Structure formats: structure tokens, C-alpha cells
Amino acid sequence: MTAAAEPHDKYDKHDGHDGHDGSDGHEGEDDMTHPPNANWTLTHTSRAHAGARPDHPAIICEDRVLTYAKLHRASNRAAHALRAQNVRRGDRVAYLGRESENYYLVILACAKVGAVLVPVNWRLTPDEVDHILRDSGASLVFVDDEFWDTLEKVRPQLPALHTVVRIDGMDIDGEPARGTGLRGWCADRQATDLELVSRPDDAVVQIYTSGTTGLPKGAVLAHRSFFTLPAAMREHGVAWIDWLPDDISLISLPGFGIAGIGWFMHTFNAGGTSVVMPQFDPQEAVRLIRTYGVTTTFAAPAMLQTMAAERDAGPVAFASLRKIAYGAAPMSETLLKQCLETFNCEFAQIYASTETGSVAVCLPPEAHHPGSPVLESVGLPCPGNEVKVIGPEGDRLPPGTIGQICVRAPSLMLGYWNLPEATEQTLVGEWLHMGDAGYLDEDGYLHLCDRMNDTIIVAGQNIYPAEVEKALAAHPDVADAAVVGVPDQNWGEAVHACVVLRPGARVTPRELLMSLRGHLADYKIPGAYHFVDTLPRNPTGKILRRAVREQLTRPV
């Protein structure tokens, strides 16, 4: 996707005034008599909640409480500070840090000036961080002190980066405060609303995700990605997954991915309270649910399994829960039964990707009971969405026939940043071509069979084989390598590597593992290494990862 493909990027740079009077023609945008609809933006929501429920907690993080009024004022100050740094509509602003109230405050500040937030996975190595900052062209970066050294290693090679703001815990009251970092940066700024009004199709966040090439691509999402699903659910009178104004939602997945930021935004737009975890810990998650009366959350199955195994897990700790959504990896019927008994609430499975922008397919709560005939599916298309399965020639396949899964939904990404060819391959007309193979049954339920792009998913984290294979190939003793995911009962999948050594080479699995440290994030590094003479390839030379996977999982 090129910059010109974004609606907001075609406008000229401005001096802080857009000719708007604070209204974009949406009646009732500042009251919550009616829930937000698909024509809203995050800017509207921030202002509306500050007026309608100023004292209601918006974010709780490490027992700090930030109300909607304080969040609105603080994000206004940050937005004025961004504008003072000449950040304008369409500019990229990066955030390198753990989840906190500061992270979501910055997202809102970017939305209020029309900038696009680029969240950076804090688990990445300096080289990986360098690629994201370089590719996005971020002109300003917010960074936690914990990751300052990482940024300093790459900063000299980033000519577009002109401003770095250290985060030191902004005044939780959202009031002016003297000090360094974010507090000092915003201290002298006004808390008034900015005149810029964003629009539903304006880009607001750019999340980096990879594909078969292993090179991260920036998937650009618009405001509408965070509004269309709840609006469609209400319109069709269903509540497969829902967010209510009195919900208290646990945000346990990282905000640098669509699952974490999406769950927060849906809760925020509904006017609920988000309990944000800087990093998932099962014991702390159980404590937070009990302490704050958490009503809903989204988690990977492996996370639910570890929570259910905690000593304090049980009816008392989970009494407040009404619904849990899960996804990113399969859940066995055995684990589902355990979760239904332990958490004692409704469950909904979701199927989505960064590119879908929101939930594409959902297995409703009523299907979650042992023996359910549709339990092995991922569910039905969400209201407002459509799913089809196509063959190699692009023709729609009949029920029961395996092919490539395609999704049409109002929440889909705008495209990949500065990658028009990749965008055209993935977004074909109104349809997003997923990297998964599956089929629709006669009743319209979607069944997954395999991933077409070989992505490995470990506890909800995407890992791309080509990236790991490239790092392995850099070792002087490695002639060839294939990386695949194999089933793992705790994390969904585990990363395994099949390695062909050069003639006469002598290297141990531990030496290979240690050679990857510092070049790949820890979660991407294979945990097992298998030495083989050759790797299976097709006539064009492409590694047949399915054959590798079958060989590794074949019973001995």
C-alpha cells in the first residue's frame, strides 16, 4: 500500500487548523444515548465518554486508575504536544514499550491529530526493531526506559526519526506535571479538544505482521475496524461476543498485536473498564479478575490453561466472569471441558487476523458444550461479514471442499504500508485472501484444515519460518534449514528446525540455539533441532514444510 492509497494522506500538510468547527456532521456524537456506530471514530468516543461518564474508570493498570475524563484531557495534552512537534495527518508515530495507560493514551493522541500509531513488539531484537522503524518512516518514537538501549542501538541509522520521548509514567490524573519524559513533554500543553476531526476511513494504527517471506509488513487499520463488529452484532440482535458499558475487561494479550489492541478498543468504545496487564502472568491474571470483578476477557487457550491451574483458581476467583473469548490456536475438547468447569461462564471462539481488523468468524457460546457437533469448527461468519472458500482458479467451491479461505468484512485493513503488490495479492476486490485452507459445511460453519502460508502460532504469537530459516542459514556450518510448527499441548505449537549441515561440519543443537540469540526474539528460536541429510522440496525448489511437519510428527 502506498501512502497515496490512504484517504487522509492525500491532504496537504496544515498549520493545525482544518476548517472544521469540531463537528463532522454526525449528530449526537457527544452523547451516549445511543451506542457508537460504524460512523464513529476514536476521537468521537474519547470526547463522548468524557462528557457522559467522566468519573467512570477507563483504564486500570497495576492498580492505578484513570477515568474517562482524565484520559480525554491527558490524550488532548499529548495531541497538542504532537502537533507542536510538527506531527501531522498521516505521519507515523511509534511506541516501544509494555502495555500501560500511557500506551492507550498515546493511541488516542495520535488519533486526535490524524497520525498513525506504529506499535513495536518490545520482545524484538534491535535489528527487528530497526526494520519496523525504518519501514514505517516513524518521525517520533515513545519508548519505555526498559527499552531505551534497544532504541539507542538503531537510532543513528534512522534519518526520519527526529524526536524520542521517554516514558516515565505520566501523571495518572492527567493534570499538568513537571518532570522528564512524557510528563514533562505534555506539562505545558492545553487540555482542550483539537479542531481536527478524524473520519471512519482514516488510518489510525499500523500493525506489523509477516508472511511467507518472513519480512514484516505494516497492516494499516482504519478507525472503522474498531466499530463495525459491535454495531453489526446489535443490528442483528445477537451477542456472540459483546462489550457492555458496565463491563470490566482484562487485557491480557500484548497491545502491539490486533488481539490486545482490538479487545481494548471494543471495551473503550462501549464505555467499559479495561484492566491492562503490562505482561501476562497467570497468577496475576487470577488476582486481577477477583480483585476488580472482571466480566470478560480474550485469551489464547494456553493462557487459560495456565490460569485454570493456579492455586487460587476456582468459583470464588471467577465468580464475576460472564464471557471469555479465545482464539489464535485450537482448543481441545478436554481443555474446553476443564475451562467450562473452572471459569463457569460463557465461551466464544473467534477467528481473525491482523488483516481482518476485527473478528471475522465466531463460534457462539451456545455451541460450547461437550459433544457439540460443530465444536471442531471455528464458527459462523459474524453479522455483516461473509466467508467463501475458493479453488486455485479463484472459483467458489461447494460445501465440504477444501480450498483457500476468503473473508469480506467492513473491518478489513486498508492495505499493507508501501507494498502495493502484496496488498493486491491479499486484498482482491472486496475480499481478503487468508493464509488458511479450510471448508464450509452445509450449515455454513467454517472448518480449518491447514495454514497455507506455514505460519507457526505459539501461545498466540505468530512466527514465520522464512525469517527463522534465514537466521539459521547465517551459521557457517548450516547448508540448509526448514522450520515448522509441531503440536504442543501447552502452547498450541512448538518451533522445530530441521537442519542440513555442510560436509564435515560438527555443531550441536545448543550451539545453533545460542547463535540465534540476539538475532531473533526468544519466542521465535526453535526449541528442538533435527539433523537430516536433505530437505524435501518441490520441482521449483520450495521447501515442502508439510512433508517436514509430517515426518517430525509421525509415530516412531
Range 213-242 average pLDDT: 91
- Whether residue 318 contacts residue 343, with contact meaning beta carbons closer than 8 Å, is answered with yes
Q: Look at residue 369 and give its three-state secondary structure.
A: coil
List beta partners, residue 345. none
Count of alpha carbons within 13 Å of 279, Cβ hemisphere only?
5
Q: What is the DSSP letter of 23?
A: -
> pTM for the full model?
0.80
Query: What's the rounded Cα separation, in Å, for the pair 109 and 277?
Result: 21
> 56 near 152, Cβ under 8 Å?
no
Note the pLDDT of residue 214. Answer: 58
Q: Tell me which H or E stretch contains 266.
A: helix 258-270
Quote the cell numbers at residue 67.
477515568
Which grid coordinates belong to 185? 513533554
For residue 474, give the 3-state DSSP assignment.
Answer: coil
Residue-wise pLDDT tens digits, 4-59:
345 333 323 333 333 333 333 343 445 555 677 778 999 999 999 999 999 999 99
**Per-residue confidence at 499, pLDDT binned at 50, 70, 90?**
very high
Kindly list the structural domains of the chain, giving each domain's residue range(s) and its CATH number in brackets, ordered by start.
37-226 (3.40.50.12780), 248-451 (3.40.50.12780), 456-553 (3.30.300.30)
Nearest-CA neighbor of 470 among 210, 213, 236, 217? 213
- In the block, residue with C-alpha cell 524520542: 164
The residue-averaged pLDDT of 384-408 equals 94
Q: How far apart are CA 458 and CA 520, in angstroms?
A: 15
Q: What is the pLDDT of residues 133-169, one digit of tens each?
A: 999 999 999 999 999 999 999 999 998 999 999 987 5
Read off the pLDDT of residues 176-204 as tens digits, 9 standing for 90 and up: 444 557 777 887 788 898 887 789 999 99
Number of H helices, E strands in the chain: 15, 26
Q: Are strands 361-363 and 323-326 parallel, antiparallel or unpaired?
A: unpaired
CA–chain centroid gap for 499, Å, is 32
For 18, phi and psi rounded to 5 degrees? -110, 10
Q: Grid coordinates representing 245?
A: 458499558
* Per-residue pLDDT at 546: 78
pLDDT at 315 over 80: yes
Task: Return the H-helix or E-strand segment holding 71.
Answer: helix 68-84
